[in-house]
C-alpha cells in the first residue's frame, strides 16, 4: 500500500512529534508500505521520510519546481516528482496514494486533510484516511468535528470516514482493515 502522509514542514516543534512520526514511517516501511509525501526534508515530512528510509522503504516525494532551494527537499527519495503548482502536487499525491495519514501540522496540513476528507465524503475516492493523534494534538479538531455533527453542519456518517490513533501500529492496522472493507459515504 502506498500511504500519503500530510504533516508539518517546521522543525520548531516538540521532539515527541518528530520521534513518533519517525516511528510511524519505520512501521510503514517494515510492513511493506511506501511513503508518498510533499518531499520536504524538515519537520514531520522529513521525520516520516527518515523513518521509512531507516527500514529501506520506498519514498516518493512530490514537490513543485519552485521548491528549488538547497536543503528544502528530502534528498534520499526513491523518486521525486516535480509539478508546476501546489494544486498539481496535491492531485499527484492523491492519485499515487492508496491511503492517507494526517500527522500533526499547521494550515497546509489541515487544508490537505479537509480536501481529501471532502472528496471521500463526495464519493470521489474510497481510500482510507487516518489521523495520527500524537500527544493529543488533534483532540480539539476531533471535538470540533463532533460538535459540527451534533449541530447538524456535518453528517454524522462523515465521522466514520477516518480513523484516529496515537499508536503507529494501531493506526496502520486500522487503515489496513478499512482498506479491506472500505466504508463509503453516500451523500444525500
Count of domains in the chain? 1
Share of the chain above pLDDT 70, in %: 95
Residue 186 lies in a domain: no
Residue 108 lies in a domain: yes
CA distance 104 to 127: 20
Q: Tell me what the mean pLDDT of segment 96-120 comes to.
A: 97
Domain that holds residue 59: 2-180
Q: Tell me what the mean pLDDT of segment 28-54 comes to.
A: 97
Residue 185 lies in a domain: no
Residue 188 lies in a domain: no
CA distance 22 to 114: 23
| CA–CA distances in Å: residue 153 to residues 138, 149, 156, 159 | 20, 6, 9, 12
> Per-residue pLDDT for 186 more than 70?
no
pLDDT tens, 131-141?
999 999 999 99
Residue 71 lies in a domain: yes
pTM of the model: 0.92
Provide the CATH number for the domain around residue 95.
3.40.50.450
Contact 26, 50 (CB under 8 A): no
> Per-residue pLDDT for 82 more than 90?
yes
Nearest-5° Cα angle at 126, 4 to 88: 45
CA distance 37 to 34: 10
Helices (H), 66-183: 86-96, 107-121, 139-150, 168-180
The pLDDT assigned to 65 comes to 87
Contact 163, 179 (CB under 8 A): no
Q: Is 164 helix (H, G, I), strand (E, B) or coil?
A: strand
Amino acid at each position: 500500500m502506498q500511504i500519503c502522509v500530510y504533516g508539518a514542514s517546521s522543525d520548531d516543534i516538540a521532539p515527541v512529534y518528530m520521534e513518533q512520526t519517525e516511528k510511524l514511517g519505520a512501521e510503514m516501511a517494515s510492513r511493506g508500505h511506501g511513503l508518498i509525501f510533499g518531499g520536504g526534508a524538515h519537520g514531520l515530512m522529513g521525520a516520516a521520510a527518515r523513518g521509512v528510509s531507516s527500514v529501506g522503504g520506498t519514498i516518493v516525494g512530490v514537490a513543485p519546481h519552485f521548491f528549488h532551494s538547497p536543503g528544502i527537499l528530502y534528498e534520499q527519495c526513491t523518486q521525486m516528482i516535480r509539478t508546476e503548482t501546489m494544486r498539481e502536487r496535491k492531485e499527484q499525491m492523491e492519485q499515487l496514494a492508496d491511503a492517507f495519514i494526517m500527522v500533526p501540522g499547521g494550515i497546509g496540513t489541515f487544508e490537505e486533510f479537509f480536501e481529501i476528507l471532502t472528496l471521500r465524503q463526495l464519493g470521489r475516492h474510497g481510500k482510507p484516511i487516518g489521523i495520527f493523534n500524537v500527544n493529543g494534538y488533534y483532540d480539539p479538531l476531533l471535538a470540533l468535528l463532533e460538535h459540527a455533527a451534533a449541530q447538524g453542519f456535518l453528517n454524522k456518517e462523515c465521522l466514520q470516514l477516518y480513523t484516529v490513533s496515537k499508536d503507529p501500529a494501531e493506526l496502520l492496522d486500522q487503515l489496513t482493515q478499512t482498506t479491506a472493507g472500505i466504508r463509503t459515504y453516500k451523500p444525500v
